[in-house]
Amino acid sequence: MNEEDLLDAYHGRHPYSYGSRKGVKDFVNVDDRELETVLSKSEIYTGYKEFKKPKFTPPIRTYGSNYLWEADLMFFTHPDFAKANDGKLYILAIIDTFTKMVSMVILKTKETKFITQKVNHLFNFDKPKY
């Protein structure tokens, strides 16, 4: 069975259609690697494929308050959010990994100049070690 026929069968009206790789493997005699390669070209298969957590993730060690901070820029670009928040579309969140204390700053733009200015203002009160 060639690649195109296998994809057509996967998207057809068969008992294994739209199913898992194991379900397809039970009905079709195809090598595992070849089946994975073919199914990876299907948006249906890849869109709903279960996320596998990595087996090993190194721990993040933090030894006290203000030892390590993490930052994220959140985007709220939907027009309803912009209207409700006077055109402010972004939130800068900075988290102390030890105390879980969160500092949030509302931003109108995500330009480097403005973000640097807000972070420097926060650094006037406290700074992380790393």
Q: Give the model's confidence band at 9: pLDDT under 50 very low, under 70 low, under 90 confident, else very high.
A: confident
pLDDT value of position 21:
84
* CATH topology assigned to domain 69-123: Nucleotidyltransferase; domain 5 (3.30.420)
pLDDT value of position 66:
93
Domain borders along the chain are 3-47, 69-123
Quote the pTM value: 0.56
Write 4-13 long-range contacts (CB < 8 A, 24+).
6/30, 6/35, 6/38, 7/38, 7/41, 7/42, 10/38, 10/39, 10/42, 10/44, 10/45, 11/42, 11/44
Q: At what angle do helices 3-10 and 32-39 cross, to 10 degrees?
A: 70
Taking only the tens place, the pLDDT of each residue in 25-80 is 888 888 889 988 988 888 888 887 777 888 898 888 899 999 999 999 999 888 88
The closest alpha carbon to 10, from 81, 61, 37, 78, belongs to 37
